[in-house]
Amino acid sequence: MARIYPLFSSSDGNSTFIGSRRGGVLIDAGVSCKRLVTALEDNGIPVSAIQGIFVTHEHSDHIKGLKTLTSKYSMNVFAQPLNAEYLAAADCISTHSRLYDITDTVRIGDFEVKAFATPHDTRQSCGYKIHTPDGKTVCVCTDLGEVTQTVHENLIGADMVLLEANYDKQMLINGPYPYPLKQRILSDHGHLDNCDSGSELKKLVVNGTTRLILGHLSRHNNTPQISEKTVSSQMAGLTRNEDYILLTAPVETHGEVMIV
């Protein structure tokens, strides 16, 4: 039975494991190798269970641990072409591991992984749709300024979705960030706020998605309590823990495991 482990999910570092102790895939490696391996072991997952690392984009909070992880352990790494080009040129992947382009869908072990484009201020950015060996569909989608039609079409119908709920708009506007950074976050290539996240998640629940995780919360412009309250307020006509299960990936430590 597949599970999702939101190991780290914030602007300080991101990494999510989908699978079991027998095998699975890792989305991003944005913390140190030591922290990542410890988080896996705390959940009873040996590092040998990682059958492939899938990179969403080249920002440091998504690739910070790649070089050491691929140096200590031989692993296949997958990224969209422009990101793969960057990872190779920036020496982010050890020669002990292999780097592959992913343009659509790849099969790795008993998992099928599809990349889909997300709007973010980077050379190329994507979310991932994962089909598990037991026939479930999991989507991991963070770092996007808006929910495009492409994003929605890939999320709808999934059994479980980890979707960004990065900031509370009033906290961001009234907070300490410099104006240019606020404008970047608010843009349609920045990050997704709680309201927009909740609006999309309601559409998904109405169409059959029952397990939701809020991810990539800002340490300065959001809290788990605010994000969950805002998202739940968007769910008119639906009952939490009856129609859907909602968790928030914590900012500093690895989060609660969810069975897909």
Q: pLDDT tens for residues 88-142?
A: 999 999 998 999 999 889 999 999 999 999 999 999 999 999 999 999 999 999 9
Name the band, by pLDDT with cuts 50, 70 and 90, for residue 250. confident
pLDDT reading at 52 higher than 70: yes
Give Cβ neighbours of residue 123 (< 8 Å, ≥ 6 apart).
57, 58, 82, 83, 86
Distance (Å, rounded) from C-alpha 84 to C-alpha 93? 10
Q: How confident is the model at residue 11 (pLDDT cuts 50, 70, 90)?
A: confident
pTM above 0.75, yes or no: yes
pLDDT tens digits for 172-231? Answer: 999 999 999 999 999 999 999 999 999 999 999 999 999 999 999 999 999 999 999 999
pLDDT at 83 over 90: yes
pLDDT of 258 higher than 80: no
Phi, psi for 197 (deg, rounded to 5): -65, -45
Domains and CATH numbers, the chain: 3-251 (3.60.15.10)
Q: Which two tokens stand for residue 126?
A: 């994507």
- Between 252 and 37, where is the model more confident? 37
pLDDT at 252: 62
